Structure 1
Amino acid sequence: MSLSLHYALCLSNWRAHEFSVSLSIPAHQSDTLRLSLPSWIPGSYMVRDFAKSIVSISACTDDNHQPLTIEQKDKQTWLLHTSGEACVVTYTVYANDLSIRSAFINHEYAFINGTSAFLQVSSFEQLPHSLAVSVPQDDAHLSEWQSYTSMPIAREDSQNKPIQKKEASENRTWHYRCDNYDDFIDHPLFIGIADTHAFEVNGVSFTLLFSGNNNIDYARITDDLTPICKHHLDLFGAPHPIDSYLFMTLLADNGFGGLEHKHSTALLYPRYDLPLIGESDIKTDSYITFLSLCSHEFFHTWHVKRIKPEVMVYPDLSKETYTNQLWIYEGFTSFYDDVTLARSGVIAPQKYLDIVAQNVSRLLQNAGRMKQSAAESSFNAWTKFYKQDASATNNIVSYYTKGGIVALGLDILLRQKSAGEVSLDNVMQLLWQHYGIAESGTPDDVIQTLCKAHFNIDVSEYLNAVVYGTEDVALEALMPLIGAKYETRARTSMEDKGGLSTKPQVVNQLGATVKPASLGVTVAQVFEGLAAMQSGLLLNDVIIAMDGNVVNQAKLQRLLDSAISDEVTLSVIRDGKLLSLALPVIKARKEMAFFTITDEAKMKEWLDVN
């Protein structure tokens, strides 16, 4: 029998948010083995130190259960002294992080990423890894729990199915198997109560999984996701890198997120933002956002999980891995997640333009876009993007948001320079053919190189300006080429996100974002160079009055708009003290973007909508 590692994961104590893992290691030639847990999970560029959740760890020989010495070397590494004998390592993990990046257990389900659960064993990384998942037989609360994952089932007659349900066994154990460690940790596990719904597109089997038992309209979600999935499958072409795919959604009262895997995605979404059975078929903004999130993560099946930067082909999961290419990967995906909804007819063209306008509006409000380039944002994702503080809007730019607008501009530019023969779709197909299929990794200049070599189009000036420099994408000049006009306006309220609107615009601008407080409003952000910063208003100040009038969020803006002098007085509580600040009255900036369709035929042609 060939050598392999075997892991047994048991939901040993869900009430304490704990699961246990038993790792069986066969006899080997080394006296000492190095065990480690990743410090970050691919697709989420922040060191999370998953090993901090290991509560206890011990080891013994496999034959006579004699204790072995296991020595911790650093925050995530242990040395196991084995003298080459077969052994078993047992450890307990605390799982109470409700996110799609770690591990979480409650009364309804357990969600576990491999990076939070499975120790890596040095020199065994390329050997097969098998897994048995079980729930205690004597816990009646878990009697209906089942196991779901995209991990291949460990049966010789089975195919790679998207889920595995309860097997006909009394011990309620599910068995899986992967070829190596990297693949092993790329299949998140869901064990618990869930609703599932299956559908098929272009020969690929899809499964929707939602935690709990719900009244969600799965048929409607399937109808909307089908053309979205078909778009991505058609774009990259056959043969597809997958034959099955699992959309795994954790429902919560609040929360948002998505993380891509090769054969699945893990999503976190508010349960009541999804359509319920019996409701009208109007697509709410929150439901459109969910469809866009699904589109985004499924697009990563090709673009991130297989097409990836050179340094991400074999990343060191023990420390940061730096690249300035995230604007290509998250940015381009952010373009395709929304435009696919319009291309497939799930949303109208004007709705799509409103979504783009909201993204542009976020950039226009962000002074950081003039200080940090999209490439620099990519490189500093580990700290400046993933560990943002209140100054972020004034000092950094999002490689997601700026990258998505860069992709939009690049698509239009390619079409213009090729008389409509070349688009960003062709670039994506080249990326897949040259780098994705072989997973060989892209160099930093891959976009300009492909465009020049295959289309004889030089896009270096454009990329130097908007990616490696801090210039805005010239939407005023580019959007008319696809039948749309780009304009800006003042905001209509503090809650305004941008897009086409007929509501009256504010007259004067505070220059800060605020949130309701028990009395007045609390300052959440202060924008560089505007009235709030000029007045000396600081983060977490509580504004209780303007010119002696007690305020709430709506009244604050109304009083500011009706000011007849050049200055008003804010009554502010800061650190338990009452202050009076002089706020200059400054006309509102036009920082909300919006688009209007000027040529429907051009817009439909660009979207390829019949």
Structure 2
Amino acid sequence: MPNDILKYTLCLSQWQAHQFKVSLNVPAHHSETLTLSLPSWIPGSYMVRDFAKNIVSLSAQEATSASPLTIEKVDKQTWTLHTNGKPCSIDYTIYANDLSIRSAFINHEYAFINGTSAFLEVEGFVNTEHQLDVSLPIADESISQWRAYTSMEARASSALESGGSERKWSYQAPCYADFIDHPIFIGIADTHEFEINGVNFTLLFSGNNNIDYPRIAKDLAPICQHHLDLFGQPYPVKNYLFMTLLADNGFGGLEHKHSTALLYPRFDLPLVGDSAEMTESYITFLSLCSHEFFHTWHVKRIKPDVMVNPNLAQENYTNQLWIYEGFTSFYDDVTLARVGTVPAQKYLDIVAQNVSRLLQNAGRHKQSAAESSFDAWTKFYKQDASATNNIVSYYTKGGIIAFGLDLILRERSNNTVCLDDLMRLLWEHYGKDETGTPDNVIHHLCLNYLNIDVSDYLNNVVYHTNDVELDKLIAAIGVSLHTRAKVSQDDKGGLTALTPIKRQFGATLKPASLGLTVVQVFEGLAAMKAGILLNDTVIAIDGHVVNQSKLQRLLDTSENASVTVAVIRDGKLIHLDLPLMDAREDMAFFNINDADKFEKWLGRA
């Protein structure tokens, strides 16, 4: 196997066309041919995305003679070239116009590039050192203020040689898997740093903004402290980068070993001069940061056995995602309550919203959390408008499973064991050396290290489609669970003083130029019984043209058993008979009956 270094150069000379160029220098090697490939998916996002489709051009030549080499395309993401073992260089161009945290994107302000979208893997060199130069042409004044940021280890400071034509930032990684795990931001950005227990954190936000970075750092610090304390030393990171792409709209997060990439609406963050109010959107941002930083341990190092050395050319199936995304979804919000970012009732309202999603989700009776994990590639990541009727989210149900498991561990151990202890066992036995967890890991650790058998619980709520009986479990922590009807179409659940609706249409609607367009129809409710279909436009009820508020008022005040709904479908006017059904009580809310008990559970008493 070769011990020489692979050298990549990434250049943004064609950013106006949403393109960047990569040059790859391969040293002399033992084989007659080289096999090149680009991943088809990115770890943490379980869908085949076929990144190779964005390669615009690809060529190769011998390094010494500059003679062109013939490249043969083997499949959608693999190429071979005959080199006779000689050094060669490979040049290719990639189109980058996907504003997400999973691929690559370039605009007038920055370029964001994931390694899985940019860097060809060279067979036989995956375990050798990989080096990267990020190159910006000096002559292009439109990007003269841009610079490069990544969590990859720097090889040299950015430098501009006298008389040179480019600025460079140089990085290195010990192997291909590490090389592609550091997203790269190149452009204009604001940064802010803070430190906890010797770990350096950098906040990066695209563009120049009037955002209150000191406040974000102040609010994020105790959340990071909580995760560091939970798993204990030695910490797996010395430096960590929160990389946030700001947009008018958009939401997302993707974990990496030493960083996370986030996408968030710019005006949903606190600006300089704003009040100290903790808005819903800002709470969501802090929870997102909490979620992704928790993945530093739980997903990036503690991981399913099939994800230790995943095949990036195809799907890698596991039924364990409920453990990873589910448990992390529990901790992202409970951490905000534990450190005092949100009050106790606000935390319970957030949990109630998750419970409400499940109660509205007929798919939870058809697909188990384990099946949801296994089918993530084809169902969860490829949802259509009928998804709520047919599948369940391993994030949402997994988070409720984690909540219930914590309560069961406490109950069966006389409050000597909790979910935190299980997390530390996962880290100690599977995370520190990244050995990968088997499917029965939760049962195994609870039984053999905590002396608690939770097989009955896991069988019911993970491998079958039973609901977590939170209403029976939470009494021990001074809380009760209740349900009510919606108060409006925008109602997400939680405690409210507003009056519930009387009747439920049974579909999600959005405003149209005339009436309302149907974007989702719920199984078992009035709209489906009436034969209302996706993409129908509801224009009138009993002859009255409707908007959302008028529709609800007509339903609630009608004294008949049904109403006539006029819809436009495929250019035709259709009249349907909609039965009037009492609104289903599928909105959850919690009451705190014993504040001392609940504060003790949170660890704040």
TM-score by length of 2: 0.99
Separation in structure 2 between the aligned mates of residue 517 and residue 265 of structure 1, nearest angstrom = 38
Residues 227-259 of structure 1: CA deviation (Å, up to 9, x unaligned):
000000000000000001000000000000000
Residues 108-130 of structure 1: CA deviation (Å, up to 9, x unaligned):
00000000000000000000000
- Matched with 2:31 is 30
Residues 458-512 of structure 1: CA deviation (Å, up to 9, x unaligned):
0000010001011111011111111111000000001100000000100001111
Residues 179-212 of structure 1: CA deviation (Å, up to 9, x unaligned):
0000000000000000000000111000000000
- Matched with 2:379 is 384
- Matched with 1:158 is none
Q: 1:218 aligns with which of 202, 213, 216?
A: 213
Separation in structure 2 between the aligned mates of residue 350 and residue 79 of structure 1, nearest angstrom = 60
- Matched with 2:520 is 525
1:271 aligns with 2:266: yes
Separation in structure 2 between the aligned mates of residue 126 and residue 425 of structure 1, nearest angstrom = 35
- Matched with 2:439 is 444
Corresponding residue SS for 1:399: coil
In structure 2, stretches of 5+ residues that fail to align are none
- Matched with 1:161 is none
Separation in structure 2 between the aligned mates of residue 334 and residue 168 of structure 1, nearest angstrom = 45
- Matched with 2:293 is 298
Q: 2:503 aligns with which of 508, 518, 522?
A: 508
In structure 1, stretches of 5+ residues that fail to align are 156-163
Between the aligned residues of both structures, percent identity stands at 68
Residues 127-164 of structure 1: CA deviation (Å, up to 9, x unaligned):
00000001111100111001000000114xxxxxxxx7
The 8 Å contact of residues 243 and 260 in structure 2, kept in 1 or not, is answered as yes
> Cα offset for 1:168?
5.1
TM-score by length of 1: 0.98
Q: Aligned ranges for residues 36-435 of structure 1 at < 5 Å? A: 36-155=37-156, 166-167=158-159, 169=161, 171-435=166-430
Q: 1:480 aligns with which of 442, 464, 475?
A: 475
Separation in structure 1 between the aligned mates of residue 436 and residue 300 of structure 2, nearest angstrom = 11
The 8 Å contact of residues 160 and 168 in structure 2, kept in 1 or not, is answered as no
Corresponding residue SS for 2:68: coil
User: What is the identity, as a one-letter code, of the residue corresponding to 1:72?
Assistant: K
Separation in structure 1 between the aligned mates of residue 476 and residue 23 of structure 2, nearest angstrom = 61
User: What is the identity, as a one-letter code, of the residue corresponding to 1:31?
Assistant: E
Q: Aligned ranges for residues 433-582 of structure 1 at < 5 Å? A: 433-582=428-577
Corresponding residue SS for 1:205: strand
Q: Aligned ranges for residues 584-603 of structure 1 at < 5 Å? A: 584-603=579-598
Counting matched residue pairs gives 601
The 8 Å contact of residues 380 and 393 in structure 2, kept in 1 or not, is answered as yes
Residues 554-589 of structure 1: CA deviation (Å, up to 9, x unaligned):
111111111110000001000110010100000001
Separation in structure 1 between the aligned mates of residue 558 and residue 190 of structure 2, nearest angstrom = 55
Runs of 4+ in structure 1 displaced over 2 angstroms? 166-171
Corresponding residue SS for 2:36: strand
> Cα offset for 1:419?
1.0
Corresponding residue SS for 1:468: coil
Separation in structure 2 between the aligned mates of residue 470 and residue 181 of structure 1, nearest angstrom = 40
> Cα offset for 1:539?
0.2
Separation in structure 1 between the aligned mates of residue 180 and residue 81 of structure 2, nearest angstrom = 21
Corresponding residue SS for 2:476: helix
> Cα offset for 1:514?
0.4
The 8 Å contact of residues 504 and 526 in structure 2, kept in 1 or not, is answered as yes
Corresponding residue SS for 2:313: coil
> Cα offset for 1:553?
1.0
Separation in structure 1 between the aligned mates of residue 183 and residue 79 of structure 2, nearest angstrom = 24
> Cα offset for 1:167?
3.9
- Kindly report the root-mean-square deviation, in angstroms, between the aligned alpha carbons of the 2 structures: 0.9
Residues 32-90 of structure 1: CA deviation (Å, up to 9, x unaligned):
11100000000000000000000000000001210001111110000011111100000
Residues 441-473 of structure 1: CA deviation (Å, up to 9, x unaligned):
000000011000011100000010001011111
> Cα offset for 1:536?
0.3
User: What is the identity, as a one-letter code, of the residue corresponding to 2:589?
Assistant: F
User: What is the identity, as a one-letter code, of the residue corresponding to 2:495?
Assistant: L
Separation in structure 2 between the aligned mates of residue 455 and residue 313 of structure 1, nearest angstrom = 26
Residues 351-382 of structure 1: CA deviation (Å, up to 9, x unaligned):
00000000000000000000000000000000
Residues 389-425 of structure 1: CA deviation (Å, up to 9, x unaligned):
1110000000000000000000011011111110000
Separation in structure 2 between the aligned mates of residue 110 and residue 305 of structure 1, nearest angstrom = 25
Separation in structure 2 between the aligned mates of residue 561 and residue 15 of structure 1, nearest angstrom = 55
Separation in structure 2 between the aligned mates of residue 455 and residue 106 of structure 1, nearest angstrom = 52
Separation in structure 1 between the aligned mates of residue 227 and residue 3 of structure 2, nearest angstrom = 39
